[in-house]
Structure formats: structure tokens, C-alpha cells
Amino acid sequence: MTTGAAPVRQLDPADAVELRGTAEKILAAVGRGTSAAPQLLARVAESADGLPPSVRRQLRPADTDDGLFVLRGLDVDDTELGPTPAGWAAAGDSGAVHDVVLLLLATAMGDPIAWEGQQGGRFVHNIVPAPGHEGEQTGAGSAVLLSPHTEDAFHPGRAHLLMLSCMRNHDRVATTAAGVRRVRLAAADVELLSRPLLPILPDDAYAGARHFDGGPPPAVPTLYRAEDGLTLRFDPAYTPLADATPAHRAAYRRLEAELARVSVAVRLAPGDVLVLDNDLVVHGRVPFQARYDGTDRWLKRASLRVPARRTRPLAEASEHGYGQAAIEAHAG
């Protein structure tokens, strides 16, 4: 893994002030509810239309094969933030103004989504280490490497873009990211991994999905050749590789090794937002020692879809998604 630079887009300080001011006005108008409140989402949609062109320019799609960028320069003040919550359920409206800023940015790039079965249906998730969950492959984990994966890979309605907004990261814990368009694979491996041979099972963050009984897990391809290049759907921790043929397993492991080779470590600082193309990039996190004293690493996460994208096989549309429903912020 290298510590190669992710492309950085610096936000104009005046734009950061304006974004925060807009978020504060929205909260003042609708109250400090959670990011799932319908009035809040409606106000965000209205206000996102009025964001300055200089902000919109910084939110243009990722324009390199890395499939990611860091938007830098949001106004996050550690002293006024309050303690890092001890888990998502304890987060309440902690850092609510930053939830709204993130939703404004997300709405300028696409349609934010939430999941009924994850973090109470909120559109902005709090990613904080939680006592007792240290070994989990979810945002609540800490002590183990979070294996590189695409977000919500089990589901056909998963996000096209993922945004990770840093509130606090005193120990400079690295988020890892690796772009599939940087890997070198033999044509035979690409061909084999483009066949729908294995399912991707729902991850531990989805309470009900692992007991879904509405049909067998659909087998899905790992790689897909989109018009503008390769995309991937990848989550080895939830892929039953033991069921694969030795040749298939070996190809999968070669892809995994290539992703590790091209992986970059991104040490987010407060005010940074990492924007990841969830069809091009796998992300993960290095292990860290949680503090559990109110000063832990704290990220906020938004997921969004970009209408009319052609980065996935059409066959996905018929998958059951293990009974999990995505909720769109601006449906209709």
C-alpha cells in the first residue's frame, strides 16, 4: 500500500462559510431532528439548487482513474463539536449542522439514499468505534482491518457515490482506497470474474437481511465492463469463496492482491470529505486502538445514487436485495 496522494479539491473559505450558514438556517427552520426528517430533506433539496457555481465545480465527478477525490476546507471546529458519540445509536443530533452540510453536498452530486435497516433510516450515518464491536467488519469496528470492499455490495440499489466527512481523527487513522482501473489483470481473469458465479451476502450492519427467506442468494459478477472501463462489486468478507472452483478462487485472490498493490492510504482531517465512486473503488480502514473517551475518530457518511448511470449489469435489476429497502431522499 502506498501513501499516494488522493486528488484534493480545496473549497474556497467563503464557500465553506456559506455552506455552514445555509445548514444552520435549515436547522433553525426545521428543528434539530435527525437526518431522516422529511422537512429537513425537502429544505436541503431546495437549498442545494442554490449552491454557488464554485461549489458545484468542486463537486464535479471524479475525473481520474482513481475514482475518488478529497474535498477539503469545510468548517469543522473541534471545540464546539462535543464528544465523539459512543456508537451510532448514541449519536442523536451530535454534529447535526455537519449532517446538513454533507446532505447539501450529496444532493448537489445526486440523490441521497438511506436504508430502513441501517442506523435507524438516517441519511447521514455516524461512523464511530463502539465498545464490544471492535472485531466487526462494519463502521463500528476498530481493532481489525476493515477489508477493502464496495459499499453495500450485496444490494442492487447500493450507492454510486460514497461520501466520508471527517469530524475528528486525532490518531490520523487511514481510510484505504483502491481503484479497479489501476489494477493489472490477465484477460482470462477479467473474463472469469465477469461471470455471475457467487453471491455477496448482506453485511452485519443490516439487522434483518441475514435471515431473509424470500429466495436464494443471487450469484453476481465481480467485474463488469462498462462503456468507459471496468467497474466492480466486491466484498470478500461476505463472499462464500469456499464454494468457488480453485481457478475462480485464484482469480479472485489475484484481483484482491492487485487492489492491495494499488491501494492508497487517505488520512482524513477535520473538514475533509472523501468522495468515492462505489463502482470503481474499494475502501477500507486500517486497524486502530479505540479511545472510548469522547475523542475517537468520527466520520459522517452519506450515500447517493446518480440517475441514468451505466456502470452496472442490467441483470441486477431483478435481484431481491435480501428484503432491504433503500429510501430515496428526493423520491418523486
Q: How far is the CB of 57 from Fe ion (least distance, A)?
A: 27
Q: Which is nearer to Fe ion, 73 or 284 (CB)?
A: 284
Is 75 or 136 the residue whose CB approaches Fe ion more closely?
136
C-alpha cell belonging to residue 18: 456559506
Taken in order 257, 259, 262, 268, is the CA torsion positive or negative? negative
**Gap between the Cα atoms of 293 and 71, Å rounded:** 28
Give the DSSP H/E element, type plus range, for residue 45: helix 38-49
Q: What's the number of CA atoms in the CB half-sphere (13 Å) around residue 313?
A: 17
Residue of this chain nearest to Fe ion (CB atom): 151
Residue-by-residue DSSP string for 83-137: PPPSSGGG-TTTTHHHHHHHHHHHHHHSEEEEETTSGGG-SSEEE---TT-TT-S
For the four alpha carbons of 324, 167, 232 and 201, in that order, the dihedral sign comes to negative
Q: Is 151 one of the binding residues for Fe ion (CB under 5 A)?
A: yes
Nearer to Fe ion, 75 or 151 (CB): 151
User: What distances in angstroms separate CA 158 from CA 83, 112, 240, 268, one per listed residue?
Assistant: 31, 11, 20, 24
The least CB distance from residue 283 to Fe ion, in Å, is 6
Closest CA to 196 of 167, 164, 156: 156
**Under rule CB under 5 A, how many of the chain's residues touch Fe ion?**
1
> Mask of contacts with Fe ion, 94-133, x by CB under 5 A?
----------------------------------------
Least distance from C-beta 285 to Fe ion, angstroms?
8
Distances from the Cα of 129 to the Cα of 85, 152, 246, 299, angstroms: 9, 19, 36, 10
Beta carbon of residue 149, minimum distance to Fe ion (angstroms, whole number): 6
Under the binding rule (CB under 5 A), the answer on residue 203 touching Fe ion is no
- Our finding on whether 277 is near Fe ion (CB under 5 A) is no
Beta carbon nearer to Fe ion, 224 or 234: 234
Q: How far is the CB of 319 from Fe ion (least distance, A)?
A: 19
Residue placing its CB nearer to Fe ion in the complex, 151 or 316: 151
Nearer to Fe ion, 26 or 280 (CB): 280
- Shortest distance, position 136 Cβ to Fe ion, whole Å: 12
Residues that bind Fe ion (CB under 5 A): 151
